[in-house]
Amino acid sequence: MTPDLVGDLESPDYASHDRAAHGPYTPVFTGDVKRELDELLTHYPTKMAALLPALWIVQRVHGWVSEEGMAEVAGLLELTPAYVKGVVTFYTMYHQHPVGKYFIQVCTTSPCGICGAEDVVKALVRDTNTGELGLTSPDGRFTVIEVECLGACGFATPVMVNEEFIESMTPDKVPELLARLP
Amino acid sequence: MGYPHHPNPRETTVLSKHFGEADARTLDGWKKRGGYKALEKALGMQPAEIVNIVKESGLRGRGGAGFPTGMKWSFMKPGDGKPHYLCCNADESEPGTFKDRELMRWTPHALVEGCAIGAYAIGAETAYVYIRGEFTEPLHWMEQAVKEAYAAGIIGKNAMGSGKRIDVHVHKGAGAYICGEETALMESLEGRRGNPRIKPPFPAVSGVFGMPTTINNVETLIAAAPILMNGADWYKKMSLSNPKSTGTKLFSVCGNVQRPGTYEVVMGFPFKEFLYDLCGGPLHGRKFKAVIPGGASVPIQTMDEAEGTLMDYEGFVAGGSMLGSGGVIVIDDAQPMVTVIARLARFFAHESCGQCTQCREGTAWTTKILERIRDGEGTVEDLDTLLDIGEQMTGKTICVLSDSCAVPVISGIKKFRGEFEALIQGRRFHPVTAAVA
């Protein structure tokens, strides 16, 4: 969103992600998935309004939103790829690069910050072997990032592992969490 | 901390009555609890009658601004030949606030019903519930509830056999605090970057897809059903202090407190008793130092201010802050205020959409200075610079995100100046009492 004016405020370094390892792009919107999009389009008076949901579908299928994915969505919704990229880059939840099998987000905004969120982050970075925030572990299993307010402040510290929302995480519970991930 | 808690006898559970009852999430369970009776009643009334009852009840927006709901609904002119839209703002992202999350995960049908009533009252056939992308569990329950309601004919092209079409669609956000700002929410819903729009035109004139639109918070819409069932007078009587603040309000409590969670009290409840009695007071061996009572965007209160406050729109203003979204962040004496405030500023810098210079530059600049002070590298001039930037960030931008960043900074420096100065003068922060793990 805002350009990087405050040091490490913004995008982590994704240099370690190997895009080539993910192979050639396969279209997302065929068969049932195309029908899912067609149904979505009935919810809105414009095609453009289905953009965010369509991007979610791309991420669900491929794990991230590549330029090819953006182009496919652009074609279906009669938008330009550049426009779609402009939207993708605005929102923090679309991955513009491949991420680990388990994408772990830890809330560290003030209400969680005063309840020890930093220690949860440290434990996660250490135990996942990712080395630093935003990087993926060498085995490709984990990516850990800090995230702004997850909206569960009474359950500090909330952590998201992919779609799973976990409340009241503490450093002690980190090994147990990681151990149960297949 | 376990959840949901048993309601304290001093709570008044109208909206939170069924929190923790898994069965209430299903259509059958919700109907057993009197669900959809209010919608049935509403569909037998004229839309204008509903608007009048809500106006009469004194219900005000629960998302932060506190605008009278009935009046907002009355801005939607019937018979203008245009499609009308209702947007439910479920993009709850204000740090400290998690009441809508609880409402949606425990009582999703209450929101479907509230949306249907609201849509009917403003002459809309379509309601969108814009839920932030991180709320995977509330999203799941809302999608489930909408599906069940369609299958039962409660919503759809002939809602409850009324001949009226009411569609409710759940729309998933993708990670942007700013989309909780109503015009940014509409932009996002249209498939754009979430940049707030200049007002006027106001949403009631030109909202989502350029059509007349009303945007209401989750809690506001859910409150409409009990108001219709029990009458405006019943709601109006729930007011302990100022007659301009009526009904019950959900407060979500977090931070350094014994019992964080969501509490529902009648407007005007004494804040001191709320913090010490309902929420259980400070953690063992610590003392409360400050409270941010309405989400990160409202002024920080000292304990003196907080303990004399009555919990309603006017009461919080009199106590040096605002009711905001009802997200109560409690900060104790083991927390350095500069760290807390610097982290809030970083939040706003991260979430600025970048359209307006004052906000884009101001939030980042403020963060840099605060973090410098936090790290013991601040100078005496820094405090004046922060106050100056704060002033330049207030009232000069398209939306209030910029102002929201300045608020905790300005109020923090004003009320806790000593802590800033101590760090600048090279003294480390020492908690007043020993920190308890």
Are the Cβ atoms of A109 and B95 closer than 8 angstroms?
yes
Side-chain-side CA neighbours of residue B426 (13 Å): 0
Give the one of B93, B167, B260 whose C-beta lies nearest to A151's C-beta: B93
Indicate whether A56 and A112 sit together in one domain: no
The predicted-structure confidence for B3-62, as pLDDT tens digits, reads as follows: 667 889 999 999 999 999 999 999 999 999 999 999 999 999 999 999 999 999 999 999
Residue written as token pair 């804040």: B271
Give B22-237's CATH code, choosing from 3.30.70.20, 3.40.50.11540, 3.10.450.50, 3.40.190.10.
3.40.50.11540
Shortest Cα–Cα distance, A179 to chain B (Å): 22
CATH number of the domain residue A115 falls in: 3.40.30.10
Indicate whether A84 and A107 sit together in one domain: no
Share of chain B above pLDDT 70, in %: 97
Are the Cβ atoms of B364 and A45 closer than 8 angstroms?
no
pLDDT at B119 over 60: yes
Residue A97 lies in a domain: no
Q: What is the pLDDT at residue A24?
A: 87
Q: What is the Cα B301 distance to its own chain's centre?
A: 18
> CA B200, CA B183: separation in Å to the nearest integer?
11
Indicate whether A47 and A76 sit together in one domain: yes
Q: Around Cβ B198, how many Cβ atoms within 10 Å? A: 9
Domain count within chain A: 2
Are the Cβ atoms of B175 and A93 closer than 8 angstroms?
yes
Q: What is the pLDDT at residue B267?
A: 97
Count of helices and strands (H, E) across chain B: 18, 11
- Is B96 an 8 Å CB contact of chain A? yes
Give B248-332's CATH code, choosing from 3.90.10.10, 3.30.505.50, 3.10.20.600, 3.30.420.10.
3.10.20.600
> CA B170, CA B147: separation in Å to the nearest integer?
10
Indicate whether A147 and A77 sit together in one domain: no
- Helix (H) / strand (E) element for B71: namely helix B69-74
The predicted-structure confidence for B158-211, as pLDDT tens digits, reads as follows: 999 999 999 999 999 999 999 999 999 999 999 999 999 999 999 999 999 999
Q: Are B66 and B60 in contact (CB under 8 A)?
A: yes
ipTM of the complex: 0.94
Give the one of B191, B254, B351 whose C-beta lies nearest to A50's C-beta: B191
Q: What is the CATH topology of the domain spanning B337-424?
A: de novo design (two linked rop proteins) (1.20.1440)
